[in-house]
Every structure is written in C-alpha cells, then in structure tokens.
C-alpha cells in the first residue's frame, strides 16, 4: 500500500513538472526506426536444388525446421478429390518404409519432437521441432518421413473414416455452410470450391498416395525455413547429409488453374431454421498481388472494416447499432489468381436486413467521398508501426522468407513496403474504392432462419429483406448433390 502511494506521488510530481503529460494523447514518441532484414542474407541453395533460409537464434536450445513443397490440392486428378489432403496427412501419420507408424510415433515421442505434414489447396508443408541436442536424430526422422512415407493401410483407413464422419456434419454448422457456399458462389466449379465427397474419397487407393508423393516430393520442390540454436555452416552440412542422393524429378509442376467463372450478383439464402442468428457474407472478386494498387486496397479496407474498432463497418454495425458482436471486412489479394473482397457479420435474424443496409451505406460512402486525414493517419500508422512484427523472431523471419520465395515476391518488396504505404493520400483511397469496390457485382449470402429474417425487425420497417433472393437448399453431405 505504501509503495503504491509513493509511486502515485512520484507520478504526480513528474506530471506537474512537465516530464509526463497529463493526458496520454499528449505523449510524444520518436519516429520508429527499423530496417527490415533482406532475404538474400539468409538464403542458401543446397546441392540437391532445395532452397533453405537459415536464421540463428540462441536464446533457447530449440530448432524449428519447416518446409514448403510445391504441390497442392489443385493437382488432384479427376474423380479423386481429397487425394492431396490424404497424402499430406499420411506422410506423417502413416509411418515410413522402415518404421511402422507406432515405431515412428514412439521415436518422435522419445525425442519430445513435434513432426507434422499436410497439403492445402496451393502448397504442401512439413515441420520438425526438437531440442538442439537432438537435431541429428530428429532430422533423420524428418528426412525419412518426407522421403520414404509408408502410408500404412490401417492409418489410411482411419483417416478415411474420420473424413467421412466430418462430411456427415457438413450441414450442422452455419459457419462451415457460409464458407462453403460463399466460395461456390464466387468460384463456381473451380477446384478451390470443389468439395471432397464419399465417392471421390473411396476412389482413392494407397497406390494413388504413393504416386502423388513420387510426382511432387523431391528436393527441387522444397523451400526450407530453419531457425533456432545452430550455426549456419553446421546446419547446412546437416541438411545436405540428410537429403543427399534424393533424385529430382524433371516433370514440371503444372500451373495453378485460374477460375473462369463469373459470379452472378444477388442475394442468396440458406434456410437454417434451428439458429437464432444469421451469418452474412457479402462480396465479389478482388485482385492479385501483382496489382500495383493492392497495398492501397489493403489500407482502404482497414478504414472500411479491416481494423477492428477503428473501422467504419465495425463502428456502425457493432458499436453504434449493436447489431453484431463481430463485423468487419477483408480485401485479400491472391498470389496465383484473384483474391476476394468480403464483408462478414453475424446478427440476430430479425436484424439481418438492417445490418446489410448499413454495410451497403458504408461501401457507398467510402466510394463517394475521401476518407478523413485522421482515419488515414490512424490506419497508415498502424500498418507501419506493426510492420516489424513480421520479422520479430527468427522463426518469423525464416518463415516469411520461405513464403515470399514460394509466391515469387519481388526481392525489394519489404524494403519499399512502408514508403508505399506512407505515400498514400485520401484521394488514393477514394480512387481505389471507386475502382475496385463494385456494389453492382455484390454476392450476398445469408445463412439463418429464413422466416425470422424475412419478418425483420418490427421497430425498423424501413429495412425490408429483399424479395428477389435465391434460396440455396442444403446438399446431401456425403454426395454434395443439391436438391432441385
């Protein structure tokens, strides 16, 4: 108690002599001085063709190894959707040719090492985390897992059953329904919107996993991100040894297919009668990272709905009107094809129409008038001052560099990043808002109790729900066939 009182007296005294401002808003800080690291300083090319980014960190006796693999679900053959996903999981779960799954798991547990593997839509990945003193044993397990997966039949059967059980629950969660149907409305029959079905899953054999691995897993398709308690020369020698004599395949990786689907604007509803809140996602196609305006769009989106409580959509829908706990927007640029712009919120069913109207108002406002200098300053400062977090740890640096290499980001991207952000003006933000936000192309998806949504809020009759909506029936969760 006495210590707290003494501290209070000292603080008051400092405030009175001008050392500490009376109001936090009067605090002054020196400009942030930060030079981002250059990927080239950490990049190494192994003799087998793999690229490795190595960042030392001796604070803890740990080593983290991640690897990105040039593969993905976009390579699933026709009729076997889910092959990449299964292959990715079973590279870790299915043991190796010389280590059955139980033996592999036991060796990993003995080392207290974390090993993982997976394949998403656009990339594969694998990881190892272990104590630095165990790196030789851990790296031996890791290399064996990547090069010689066993794809044990019993583990493969278990994985199929788990995937089937997850499919059966596809229509239970409004969140999963929203994500699935919005993707389908924007992408059509593109691979990114094509779900795994019972038929495609059961068509996959162990030989298919072996062939998929043989086609796409080789050192030339690997980008390593290594961080932790090691010396660069020593780790390079270990990587060379662990992955030596692994022949590369000359078969090129097919390019990621771009969607050729044009979304149809409108309001779409999935009737979920057992929920008291409606989930809403509104949006349209966006841009690629190669678009010179993608940074301006990111800042514009921060003002509109991407920066939490300081953004317009969050302030109006959540704080001012109390219609949703979480409301916001995203303008994601794509690395291989166009990304998406979307607004999301979840509100009580009767308030859905009102919240949709408010979102449309905010989109039109940011298109029709420049943002204020204060709004822009707040967003630009946030982006610039939070920028160092991207490289805050050795693991973050190694991972960022590997990701940049994977998507072929320009070498000077991060060196120019802050100056490009700082140069933005209110006129720039309005220009990109007018050019890239398209209310006439908006796809609006609502998942909730249709009857309650259509009835609306009797206290707000000026917000009727559109009558020309299209109802989307729930498909059979295993076949994904939609009723007429």
Beta bridge partners, 329, equal 343
The CA-atom distances, in angstroms, between 61 and each of 66, 129, 236, 302 are 17, 11, 18, 39
pLDDT score for 440: 97
> Within its chain, how far is the Cα of 38 from the centroid?
24
Write out pLDDT tens, residues 160-181: 999 999 999 999 999 999 999 9
Give me the mean pLDDT over the 205-228 stretch. 98
Ramachandran angles phi, psi of 62, nearest 5°: -130, 155
Ramachandran angles phi, psi of 345, nearest 5°: -165, 165
Sheet holding 114-119, edge to edge: 43-45, 51-56, 222-228, 62-69, 124-131, 114-119
Is residue 394 within 8 A of residue 57, CB to CB? The reply is yes
* SS3 annotation, the chain: CHHHHHHHHHHHHHHHCCCCCCCHHHCCCCCCCCCCCCHHHCEEECCCCCEEEEEECCCCCEEEEEEEECCCHHHCCCCCCCHHHHHHHHHHHCCECCCCHHHHHHHHHHHCCEEEEEECCCCEEEEEEEEHHHHHHHHHHHHHHHHCECCCHHHHHHHHHHHHHHHHCCCCCHHHHHHHHHHHHHHCCCHHHCCCCHHHHHCCCHHHHHHHHHHHCCHHHEEEEEEECCCHHHHHHHHHHHCCCCCCCCCCCCCCCCCCCCCCCEEEEEECCCCCEEEEEEEEECCECCCCCHHHHHHHHHHHHHCHHHCHHHHHHHHHCCCEEEEEEEEECECCCCCEEEEEEEEEHHHHHHHHHHHHHHHHHHHHCCCCHHHHHHHHHHHHHHHHHHHCCHHHHHHHHHHHHHHCCCCCHHHHHHHHHHCCCHHHHHHHHHHHCCHHHCEEEEEECHHHHHHCCCCCCCCCCCCCCEECCCCCCCCCCCCC
CA dihedral 352, 268, 170, 174 (to 10 degrees): 0
pTM of the model: 0.91
Topology annotation, domain 266-386+416-471: Cytochrome Bc1 Complex; Chain A, domain 1 (3.30.830)
Give me the mean pLDDT over the 250-257 stretch. 92
Using 50, 70 and 90 to split pLDDT, how confident is the model at 30? Answer: confident
Write out pLDDT tens, residues 322-337: 999 899 999 999 999 9
pLDDT score for 3: 53
Quick check: 1 pLDDT over 70?
A: no
Q: Which of 160, 149, 166, 144 is nearest to 93 (CA)?
A: 149
Beta bridge partners, 447, equal 270, 279
What is the percent of the chain where pLDDT is above 90? 91
Locate the domains of the chain by residue range. 40-242, 266-386+416-471
Is residue 54 within 8 A of residue 226, CB to CB? The reply is yes
Is residue 257 within 8 A of residue 434, CB to CB? The reply is no
Separation of alpha carbons 351 and 454, rounded Å? 10
CB atoms within 10 A of CB 63: 24
Is residue 90 within 8 A of residue 156, CB to CB? The reply is yes
Separation of alpha carbons 148 and 61, rounded Å? 28
For residues 70-81, one letter each, b for 16 or more C-beta atoms within 10 angstroms of the residue's C-beta and e for the rest, the string is bbbbbbbeeebb
Write out pLDDT tens, residues 398-417: 999 999 999 999 999 999 99
Using 50, 70 and 90 to split pLDDT, how confident is the model at 484? Answer: confident
pLDDT score for 20: 73
Place of tokens 């942030």: 32
pLDDT score for 71: 98
Quick check: 9 pLDDT over 60?
A: no
Is residue 150 within 8 A of residue 99, CB to CB? The reply is yes
CA dihedral 466, 470, 476, 479 (to 10 degrees): -140
Shared fold status for 40-242 and 266-386+416-471: yes
Instruction: Please tell me the number of Cα atoms within 13 Å of 42 on its side-chain side.
Output: 27
Give me the mean pLDDT over the 278-300 stretch. 98
Give me the mean pLDDT over the 136-142 stretch. 98
Give me the mean pLDDT over the 34-54 stretch. 96
Quick check: 133 pLDDT over 90?
A: yes
Separation of alpha carbons 73 and 256, rounded Å? 10
- Tokens for 408, please give them: 């072929």
pLDDT score for 26: 76
Quick check: 251 pLDDT over 90?
A: no
Ramachandran angles phi, psi of 28, nearest 5°: -120, 135
State the first-to-last Cα distance of the chain, in angstroms, to the nearest integer.
73
CATH architecture of the domain covering 40-242? 2-Layer Sandwich (3.30)
Quick check: 2 pLDDT over 80?
A: no
Quick check: 38 pLDDT over 70?
A: yes
For residues 251 and 265, the model is more confident at 265
Beta bridge partners, 116, equal 127
């Amino acid at each position: 108690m006495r210590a707290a009182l003494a501290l209070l007296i000292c603080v008051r005294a400092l405030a009175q002599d001008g050392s500490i401002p009376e109001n936090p808003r009067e605090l002054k800080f020196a400009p942030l001085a930060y030079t981002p690291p250059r990927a080239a300083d950490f990049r190494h090319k192994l003799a087998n063709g793999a690229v490795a980014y190595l960042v030392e960190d001796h604070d803890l006796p740990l080593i983290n190894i991640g690897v990105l693999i040039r593969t993905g679900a976009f390579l699933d053959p026709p009729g076997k959707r889910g092959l990449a996903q299964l292959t990715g999981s079973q590279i870790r779960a299915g043991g190796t040719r010389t280590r059955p799954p139980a033996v592999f798991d036991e060796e990993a547990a003995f080392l207290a090492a974390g090993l993982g593997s997976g394949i998403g839509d656009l990339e594969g990945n694998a990881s190892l985390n272990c104590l630095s003193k165990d790196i030789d044993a851990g790296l031996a397990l890791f290399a064996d897992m990547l090069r010689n997966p066993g794809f044990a039949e019993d583990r493969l059967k278990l994985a199929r059953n788990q995937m089937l059980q997850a499919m059966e629950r596809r229509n239970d969660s409004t969140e999963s329904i929203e994500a699935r149907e919005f993707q389908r409305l924007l992408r059509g029959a593109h691979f990114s919107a094509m779900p795994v079905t019972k038929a495609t899953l059961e068509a996959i054999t162990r030989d298919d996993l072996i062939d998929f691995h043989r086609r796409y897993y080789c050192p030339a398709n690997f980008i390593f991100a290594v961080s932790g308690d090691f010396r660069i020369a020593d780790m390079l020698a270990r990587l060379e040894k662990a992955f030596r004599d692994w022949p590369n395949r000359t078969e090129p990786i097919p390019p990621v297919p771009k969607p050729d689907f044009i979304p149809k604007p409108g309001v779409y509803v999935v009737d979920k009668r057992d929920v008291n809140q409606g989930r809403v996602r509104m949006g349209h196609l966006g841009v690629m990272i190669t678009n010179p305006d993608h940074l301006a769009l990111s800042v514009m989106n921060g003002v509109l709905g991407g920066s939490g409580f300081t953004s317009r959509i969050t302030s109006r829908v959540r704080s001012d009107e109390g219609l949703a706990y979480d409301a916001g927007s995203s303008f994601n640029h794509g690395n291989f094809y166009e990304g998406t712009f979307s607004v999301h919120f979840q509100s009580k069913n009767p308030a859905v129409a009102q919240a949709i109207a408010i979102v449309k108002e905010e989109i039109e406002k940011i298109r029709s008038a420049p943002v204020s200098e204060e709004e822009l300053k707040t967003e630009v400062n946030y982006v610039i001052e939070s920028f160092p977090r991207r490289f805050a740890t050795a693991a973050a640096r190694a991972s960022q560099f590997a990701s940049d290499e994977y998507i072929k980001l320009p070498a000077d991207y991060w060196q120019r990043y802050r100056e490009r952000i700082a140069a933005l003006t209110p006129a720039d933000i309005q220009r990109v808002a007018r050019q890239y936000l398209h209310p006439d192309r908006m796809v609006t998806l609502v998942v909730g109790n249709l009857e309650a949504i259509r009835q609306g809020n009797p206290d707000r009759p000026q917000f009727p729900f559109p009558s020309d909506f299209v109802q989307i029936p729930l498909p059979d969760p295993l076949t994904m066939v939609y009723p007429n």
